[in-house]
Amino acid sequence: MVEPALIKAAQAGDREALVTLLREIESQVYRTAYYLLNNEQDALDASQDALIRIYTKIDSYEEKAQFRTWVQRIVTNICIDKFRRKKPAVSIDEHDMVFQAGDNVETEVLSAYAAEEIREAIGKLPEHHRTVVVLRYLQDFSYNEIADSLNLPLNTVKSYLFRARQQLQTLLHDYQKGGVRG
């Protein structure tokens, strides 16, 4: 958690404080970008963009919001923009991955790939469902914190999260039953 005093100093123009603050949040920013974009290079780009935006926009942060939800709003917006711009490319990439995985799936121990399977399944969710899941599980956000970050009503957040978990459960369950993918 970032100290309120550090944020105040950064907002007051203390550049050292601002850089220290960015160092404290870079991992959490990257983590969200990584799980939203499902690609290391894109995540590195998006999180650098997000940190620069935080650097330039620190003045616009208001104390009534939690700092970490404000940060996550910035990084999720950047990722969603990126995701939308890249959509055609991403779908081709996914086809490619399915082809490759189809060949060796029977011979592998399924459980050893749990994390990767889950990450891949998250990548198949619609963007809002994906974002809610990432904030809930990779940032440990509450319903309310997710709602604040995404500027969504609480009930919408719940419904996205519940549907996302049902979809993930179906995707992973099908997969474990018989390698049904796609």
Partner 1 sequence: MICQEVMELMQRYIDDDLDQQETSLMMDHIGQCPDCAAMLARLQKLSSELEQLPRVVPRFSLVDAIMPELERLHASDSSGGSHNDSEVSESKPIVRSRRPARHLYGKIAGVVAAGVVAGLLLFSNPGQWTLGGSGSQNDAAGPEMSQPGVQAQRGQDPAAKITTNDVRLMDQSESKNGSDAGNGENGSNASGAENSGEGGSAGLAPPLNAPAPETPVEGSNEGFAPLVDIPATWAESADGQWKAIAVVDAGTFQVYKTGEKGEWYTSAIRDGKISLLSWNESSTILYFTFTDAGGTETQWQFDTATSTESLR
Residues that bind partner 1 (CB under 8 A): 15, 19, 22-23, 26-27, 29-31, 34-35, 39-45, 47-49, 51-53, 55-57, 86-93, 95-96, 114-115, 118-119, 133, 136-138, 143, 158, 161-162, 165-166, 168-169, 172-173
Nearer to partner 1, 69 or 120 (CB): 120
Please state the closest distance from residue 168 (CB atom) to partner 1, in A.
6
In the complex, least distance from residue 8 CB atom to partner 1, rounded to whole angstroms: 19
Nearer Cβ to partner 1, position 48 or 66? Answer: 48
Nearer of residues 55 and 61 to partner 1, judged by Cβ? 55
Smallest distance from partner 1 to CB 92, Å: 6
With beta carbons less than 8 A apart as the criterion, state whether 38 and 97 touch: no
- Nearer residue to partner 1 within complex by CB, 6 or 44: 44
